[in-house]
């Protein structure tokens, strides 16, 4: 009888596992702009006793706003999220749009790094600061960063800022001079920086990561970086949206020279019929208050008619990240 119970319990476990294995625990989509879920480019911080997620939202379908903006949601458990605000254009340089947020907490304030959008080669990185995580004051020197040099087109998007080796590293995406391939670059600022424009200096005179693998297509963007011991691990998006875009991982000891950890995606797009069959892209790697690591990412199964944000827990084994089974 006991054996029969064990067998039935095992069968039930296998059935439930198969039923939910491909279902993410978190599915967030802001419907306020288009009437359907549409949220991209997630970035999460722990601040003020809760988690805040900044994300990109599209123009209003009714024409109320013409450009992309930034949404803000809060959560206590990283699963259920409630929208609590928006960041809309406040300065002339933001009028065509602002999006793709990155953030860090320093000295009890949230520092937001975002791109102005819709300006082609003149898109650049801006900075703002907030005491409550929702209302932001712009940096007077905005835009704070745009790259120079013959290896890029002068554009900077997808900001990621992390403190490492007594300085701040700013990772960004640009394009080659022909404006065809999306590539990554890096700049640095001193530890005592206010993140003003004059503090940033290019740390490399060439791209630090560019598409070479078949699945990366013509694009590497959306870098998100985490420190583990003496190394940095970069989770990046390969290929343009819906090609499909997928997530890869690279590692570095100095923050400048990067080595891919695999020739295949760390997080691939879903299978046909799954919610992320068109894309699993624009990653954000985040360490929760309890020390666990989560990979946030965007996805859809309709070639970009809708966009959801989800997450997967990441575990670390012998210095290598692995996706924890969904169930």
For 175-214, the pLDDT digits (tens) are 999 999 999 999 999 999 999 999 999 999 999 999 999 9
What pLDDT, on a 0 to 100 scale, did the predictor assign at position 140? 98
Examine the pLDDT at 17 and tell me if it is beyond 70: no
Distance separating alpha carbons of residues 86 and 135, to the nearest angstrom: 9
User: SS3 for 306?
Assistant: coil
User: SS3 for 174?
Assistant: strand
CA dihedral (246, 96, 170, 176) in degrees, to 10, reads 60
Distance separating alpha carbons of residues 297 and 284, to the nearest angstrom: 6
The more confidently predicted of residues 204 and 19 is: 204
For the chain, what is the mean pLDDT?
A: 92
What pLDDT, on a 0 to 100 scale, did the predictor assign at position 54? 99
What pLDDT, on a 0 to 100 scale, did the predictor assign at position 3? 37
Examine the pLDDT at 115 and tell me if it is beyond 70: yes
Q: Point out which residues pair with 297 in neighbouring strands.
A: 310
Total Cβ atoms within 10 A of residue 90 = 13
Q: DSSP for 107-154, please give it.
A: TTEEEEEEEE-S-GGG--EEEEEESSSSS-EE-TT-S-B---STTS-S
Please choose, from the candidates 213, 208, 228, 237, the residue with its C-alpha nearest in 3D space to the C-alpha of residue 316: 228
Identify whether the C-beta of residue 137 lies closer than 8 Å to the C-beta of residue 91. no
Which residues are within 8 A (CB) of 240 and not within 5 positions of it... i.e. 6 or more apart?
Answer: 182, 217, 218, 219
H or E element that contains 4: helix 2-20
Q: What is the mean pLDDT of residues 52-63?
A: 93
What pLDDT, on a 0 to 100 scale, did the predictor assign at position 15? 36
What's the residue count for the chain?
A: 327
User: SS3 for 234?
Assistant: strand
Examine the pLDDT at 52 and tell me if it is beyond 70: yes
- What would the pLDDT profile of 206-264 be if each residue is shown by its tens digit? 999 999 999 999 999 999 999 999 999 999 999 999 999 999 999 999 999 999 999 99
- What would the pLDDT profile of 237-250 be if each residue is shown by its tens digit? 999 999 999 999 99
Q: What is the mean pLDDT of residues 287-301?
A: 98
Q: What is the mean pLDDT of residues 45-66?
A: 92
What pLDDT, on a 0 to 100 scale, did the predictor assign at position 24? 56
Identify the band that residue 21 occupies on the pLDDT scale cut at 50, 70 and 90: very low
Examine the pLDDT at 6 and tell me if it is beyond 70: no
Examine the pLDDT at 103 and tell me if it is beyond 80: yes
What pLDDT, on a 0 to 100 scale, did the predictor assign at position 14? 33
Examine the pLDDT at 137 and tell me if it is beyond 50: yes
What pLDDT, on a 0 to 100 scale, did the predictor assign at position 10? 31
Distance separating alpha carbons of residues 27 and 303, to the nearest angstrom: 17
Which residues are within 8 A (CB) of 92 and not within 5 positions of it... i.e. 6 or more apart?
Answer: none
What pLDDT, on a 0 to 100 scale, did the predictor assign at position 327? 57
Domains of the chain and CATH, by start:
31-323 (2.115.10.20)
Examine the pLDDT at 269 and tell me if it is beyond 80: yes
Which residues are within 8 A (CB) of 38 and not within 5 positions of it... i.e. 6 or more apart?
Answer: 29, 30, 31, 57, 58, 306, 307
């Amino acid at each position: 009888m006991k054996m029969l119970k064990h067998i039935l319990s095992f069968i039930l476990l296998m059935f439930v596992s198969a039923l939910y294995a491909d279902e993410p625990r978190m599915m967030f989509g802001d419907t306020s702009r288009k009437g359907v879920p549409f949220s991209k480019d997630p970035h999460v911080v722990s601040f003020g006793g809760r988690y805040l997620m900044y994300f990109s939202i599209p123009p209003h379908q009714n024409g109320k706003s013409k450009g992309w903006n930034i949404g803000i949601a809060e959560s206590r458990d990283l699963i259920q999220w409630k929208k609590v605000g928006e960041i809309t254009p406040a300065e002339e340089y933001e009028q065509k749009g602002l999006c793709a947020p990155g953030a860090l907490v320093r000295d009890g304030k949230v520092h937001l790094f975002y791109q102005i959008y819709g300006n082609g080669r003149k898109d650049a990185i801006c900075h703002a600061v907030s005491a409550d995580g929702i209302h932001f004051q712009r940096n007077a020197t905005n835009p704070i960063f745009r790259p120079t040099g013959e290896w890029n087109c002068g554009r900077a998007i997808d900001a990621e800022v992390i403190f490492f080796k007594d300085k701040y590293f700013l990772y960004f995406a640009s394009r080659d001079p022909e404006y065809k391939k999306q590539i990554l670059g890096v700049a640095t600022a001193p530890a005592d920086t206010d993140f003003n424009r004059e503090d940033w200096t290019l740390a490399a005179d060439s791209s630090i990561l560019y598409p070479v693998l078949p699945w990366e297509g013509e694009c590497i963007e959306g870098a998100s970086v985490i420190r583990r011991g003496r190394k940095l691990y970069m989770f990046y998006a390969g290929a343009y949206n819906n090609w499909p875009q997928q997530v890869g991982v690279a590692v570095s000891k100095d923050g400048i020279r990067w080595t891919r950890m695999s020739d295949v995606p760390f997080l691939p797009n879903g299978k046909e019929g799954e919610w992320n069959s068109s894309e699993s892209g624009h990653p954000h790697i985040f360490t929760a208050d309890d020390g666990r690591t989560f990979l946030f990412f965007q996805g859809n199964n309709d070639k970009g008619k809708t966009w959801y944000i989800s997450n997967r827990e990441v575990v670390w084994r012998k210095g290598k990240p692995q996706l924890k089974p969904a169930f």
